Amino acid sequence: MSSADATDLKPGSRWRSAVCDSEVIVVRAPAAPVLLCIGGAPALAAGGDRSAPGAADPALTGGTLLGKRYADEESGLELLCTRSGAGTITVAGRPATIMSPRKLPASD
């Protein structure tokens, strides 16, 4: 993959799908640049122009869930879904896995 295909996934940066309603925020940056897609299309920087959405790849419609954390073990990327959508998150073509819930008791 050329670096031109990679997304600049800084911690705290926010991204949205080009083809569904999904939005994510970067919790942990990847060790090296990777391409982030949602619904098969490269993710776009949040807040940019809402161009006419394309269609999600029918093979990548597992959906995202608000408040769930997604990880790609190989790159180290960790994301938080800030808006649900129909597309599946993929990192360099690999579907991101949903992380297990935090089990800490309330402390404040």
* Of the residues 47, 49, 58, 59, which one makes contact with another protein according to CB under 8 A: 47
Please tell me whether residue 6 binds another protein under the rule CB under 8 A. no
Please tell me whether residue 27 binds another protein under the rule CB under 8 A. yes
Judge whether 76 and 31 are in contact, CB under 8 Å.
yes
Contact segment (CB under 8 A) with another protein among 1-9, 37-45, 49-57, 95-103 equals 95-103
- Strands of the chain, DSSP E: 14-16, 23-28, 36-38, 41-42, 44-45, 69-72, 77-83, 89-91, 94-95, 97-98
Which residues inside 58-77 make contact with another protein, applying CB under 8 A?
A: 66-69
